Chain A
């Protein structure tokens, strides 16, 4: 699978943007997301939960009927869309970073162990990965959250429980390659313990790969969070999320299409940026592909 992913990214982005450009584009979007999430209370013109039925369904700034107080318009209850999107960025970014980090930690640890020790350790871990891969991820995340209860923790937990395999598979394969390298043999000859060899010698060589996987996983986490809040299973309804906004907007798609399109644009732009960042990093960090 690893070679498939690299084939996929190699063929597509190269002509659209150079690696440096991709990193800049992706990093820029990530930066904007960070600013939006951190400074949401300062940037938001309104309280995202404040309702005002006198101003419901106001169109965004490009329409003549806008009054300027609500740059991206209002929803059915007169809540400000821009403010809701900014606060939604907080949820998206929190889930993306925390879930990707934890999934990465768990998957990397298991991948390192399976790849380095082989034998029964590898058998047990690989079998677990096989079993995990037999579940459809979207359905499993929905079922998990439905069972353990909604909320930010549950969403993050579900993503970690499902997506650690992505890291595990790639890291395991990479460690199996690294294990055969001369520097590992030297480390063993010098008398380094197996754990030291694994974490001090091999891990740094896997790190660039982890950075790439991490940025791709953040994009996946954003989508999964959106799916869960779209189905109504994410955080509570008084916290605006992009997926929740899409779900609400879908109900009024005949009267006010932008209610659905604006949060969708946020998700698509974020994922596009994170994918570009991951692909750009992969090419920059991989000496074979750089040549």
Chain B
């Protein structure tokens, strides 16, 4: 891939990022209530408040304040959480790995379920299997991730309690993760009890996040598999006497995957956005759960930090998607 394309794409991300920071900045300034008063509590003297105001730059013009704010962010300083009294950047970084691990697990689930459904529907076209796969897709799209989460809690947590419905790991195991990526870390350090516990806790939230995406993957892949099955090479393979199962899973699937791959990448951002509520429902200690806590406590610096972090992830994912497009389609590279 040409470096020019990459450089241009990265440059284009800068105004978007600036816009994001500007919007967050404006949002936080229109909030009713004085952020300084919230920081100090009730027994601060007016002189204290004035001093803090100057310290945080609130006595400057709004433009100077924005520049001040931007400078801090560029240095990785997102301020201090009001409720937790810790640097926001540290808090965000401590929770980010949990959310990333959950999101990636959910995407893997979604791909497995989606590809399975599409292949099954194509293999048994016109049979009950196809109707079931189609019906599932319609349901998967109509039920948002957080409702799937509640359904799982009810069915697999309460009625048939076979899976844990809250937390990230059994606290009795006393597992102390160093990296934050518990699943990866416990696997590679050979702590299999911890690994199993983390995996077990991840199944339901990951499945809840995965199902709507799986439905979309199933639909798009099925439609491109249908197109692929009408191509000449499929006819040729049939004439050669290959079985239908082999044609669908080997020849057609490989050619039909490209649109699905790019679509999955685009939809992955929505899945990451969905972690906010799903983590809350499952008491999963990730970034999204912390975001809702921050909103409930009106912890403005923490909210800002989390929103900007999510925005940076989204922008980075979109750049990665564009890179993938460019790799797959040479015309775009020189456009």
Contact = CB atoms under 8 A, between A and B. Distances in A.
Interface string A249-291: 0100110010011001001100110011000000000000000
Contacts of B288: 139
Contact of A271 (B131, B142, B318): B142
Nearest to B145: A138
Contacts, number: 145
A261 B158 CA distance: 13
B219 A142 contact: no
Interface residues of A, number: 51
Contacts of A190: none
B88 interface: no
A236 B146 CA distance: 22
Count class of interface residues, chain B: 35 or more
A136 B273 contact: yes
A194 to B, nearest CB: 28
A134 B16 contact: yes
Interface in A1-25: 1, 4, 7-13, 15-16
A73 B147 CA distance: 22
B222 A146 contact: no
Contact of B311 (A135, A148, A227, A268): A135
Main secondary structure of the interface of B (DSSP, over half): helix
A149 interface: yes
Contacts of B292: 142, 231
B23 A4 contact: no
Contacts of B226: 11
Given A4-B266, A12-B134, A260-B150, A142 B276 contact: yes
B130 A264 contact: no
Residue from A15, A140, A148, A233 whose CB has the most chain B CB atoms within 10 Å: A15
A136 B314 contact: yes
Contacts of B283: none
B16 A12 contact: no
Interface stretch (B25-33, B59-67, B230-238, B239-247): B25-33
B316 to A, nearest CB: 10
Contacts of B19: 127-128, 130-131, 134
A267 B144 CA distance: 10
Interface of A: 1, 4, 7-13, 15-16, 127-128, 130-131, 133-140, 142-144, 146-149, 219, 223, 227, 230-233, 246, 250, 253-254, 257, 260-261, 264, 267-268, 271-272, 275-276
28 contacts: A4-B263, A8-B141, A10-B223, A11-B220, A11-B222, A11-B223, A12-B134, A15-B130, A15-B131, A16-B135, A127-B16, A128-B19, A134-B16, A134-B19, A135-B20, A135-B307, A136-B269, A137-B273, A138-B273, A143-B307, A146-B298, A147-B31, A231-B292, A231-B295, A254-B158, A257-B158, A268-B142, A272-B142
